[in-house]
Amino acid sequence: MFMKKLQNRVARKRRIRAKISGTPECPRMTVFRSHTQLTVQLIDDTTGKTIVSASTKEAKTKPNVEGAKKLGVLVAKKAKDAKISTVVFDRNAYTYHGCIKELADAAREGGLKF
């Protein structure tokens, strides 16, 4: 049962990544969710380098909805400091609700355009 769920998640991730790519002007904003933290990275896929990264550990919050809001604001602030205004959102096979949705909404309110 667990392997089937994992295989389905990997397949969703591959489908999403086949359509999304980041550039230096418009990097890919990818989200990773675990039990202990949320992590966000802005990645330039042409060179394969991370431009900006942040996590709930860095924001000193828990990986819940409130922590996701704070993390979204933090990422938007770091992106502005790096002179990035537009990104491509990669939800990384997670459903777009709860923490993922709040993180995206907070990043939009912080000034990022998706």
- Residue 69: CATH number of its domain: 3.30.420.100
Residues 6+ apart with CB under 8 A from 88: 20, 21, 22, 26, 27, 28, 29, 114
Q: Could you tell me if residue 95 is inside a domain? A: yes
Per-residue pLDDT of the chain (114 residues; tens, 9 = 90+): 789 999 999 999 999 999 999 998 999 999 999 999 999 999 999 999 999 999 999 999 999 999 999 999 999 999 999 999 999 999 999 999 999 999 999 999 999 999
pTM above 0.85?
yes
Give the number of domains in the chain: 1
- For residue 81, give the 3-state DSSP assignment: helix
Say how far apart CA 7 and CA 63 lie, in whole Å: 25
Residue 6 sits in which domain range?
A: 2-109
Class of residue 8 by CB neighbours under 10 A (exposed 0-12, middle 13-18, buried 19+)? exposed
Say how far apart CA 56 and CA 101 lie, in whole Å: 15
Q: Could you tell me if residue 114 is inside a domain? A: no
pLDDT at 55: 97
Q: Could you tell me if residue 104 is inside a domain? A: yes
pLDDT at 84: 95
